[in-house]
Amino acid sequence: MTEHVLTLSCPDRPGIVAAVSGALAGRNGNIVESQQYGDPATSRFFMRVQFTLPDAGPASGAGDAPGGVRNSLAGLAPELHLEWDLYDTAVRPRVLILVSRAGHCLNDLLYRQHSGQLGIDIVAVVSNHPDLRPLTQTHGIDYHHLPVTDETRGAQETEILTLVEHYQADFVVLARYMQVLTDGLCGKLQGRAINIHHSFLPGFKGSRPYHQAHARGVKLIGATAHYVTGDLDEGPIIEQEIARVDHSQGPAALMAVGRDTECLALARAVRWHAEHRVLLNGAKTVVFR
């Protein structure tokens, strides 16, 4: 058997689940996991279906089984106004990571990939600093040092896109990459670039956010993983993680707790995206965990 994931969205109406299930059953598909959500605010329907198909080939008589499913879904699309994608779960997404000097998120992702927790292949790391090259070398992963200034930003981002194409990366992760991407690069990576940043209640912007948080005596700190858009740190949220803190913890302790929340939120977001569990819903996401 081969295993596949179907994700779809369309205007909400009766009969969608029956139509999709029937299309899969008509191609000998066996559903092993199914989740759906109808958004009452937008009247839009979202669905993720994981299913198996008989092995293709003359011996099984299945022929091009995924191709048959695609034909069936294409036949449904006009009537239901479907937007859909079909994925083979045996194909591991290829990921390119952007970093600066902080290595905690990169180190966490490298460990989780090596231990089989993420289901991805990290194909290369790109940084505007050389500091983290030794870390990637221990994992046998290519490291590209691309310095950037305001004057060279356009050329540097062109090189990043060239590397995305060269490595055939399916998506990009900003693992504490401390540069603001231009609107042009955000547009080219729409829906396939994930960022992590600290988030507080209340929010502190600018430099030394943990020192600001300590000065205000915050009780909760956290991190947000989201898709990258042209609106800085305001893209659709995939995951958030928080931790309780108290008056006894200084800025250094808050930073340590914050690093942990960043690693956790980013790892979950990367895994869920790699497993095709995240569907865009305007400025929000639907996450089928």
- Residue 46 and residue 144 in one domain: no
End-of-domain residue from the set 36, 54, 88: 88
Q: How far apart are CA 27 and CA 21, in angstroms?
A: 10
- Residue 192 and residue 110 in one domain: yes
Residue appearing with tokens 């020192």: 211
Query: What is the reported pLDDT for 57?
Result: 57
- Residue 75 and residue 191 in one domain: no
CATH number where 197 lies: 3.40.50.170
Structure tokens at 95: 């990921």
SS3 state at 268: helix
Q: Looking at 12, 142, 233, 260, which residue is catalytic?
A: 233
Query: What is the reported pLDDT for 59?
Result: 47
- Residue 75 and residue 180 in one domain: no
SS3 state at 175: coil
- Residue 276 and residue 147 in one domain: yes
pLDDT less than 50: residues of the chain? 58-61
pLDDT, tens only, 132-151: 999 999 999 999 999 999 99
- Residue 98 and residue 164 in one domain: yes
- Residue 70 and residue 149 in one domain: no
CATH number where 10 lies: 3.30.70.260
Q: What is the model's pTM?
A: 0.93
- Residue 129 and residue 9 in one domain: no
- Domain with 81 in it: 2-88
Domain count, the chain: 2
Query: What is the reported pLDDT for 61?
Result: 47
- 233 is known as an active-site residue: yes
CB 126 within 8 A of CB 144: yes
- Residue 100 and residue 133 in one domain: yes
- Residue 70 and residue 119 in one domain: no
Query: What is the reported pLDDT for 53?
Result: 96
Structure tokens at 2: 């081969």
Q: How far apart are CA 285 and CA 48, in angstroms?
A: 13
End-of-domain residue from the set 88, 119, 149: 88
Q: What is the CA radius of gyration of the chain?
A: 21
CB 270 within 8 A of CB 118: yes
End-of-domain residue from the set 38, 70, 88: 88
Query: What is the reported pLDDT for 206?
Result: 72
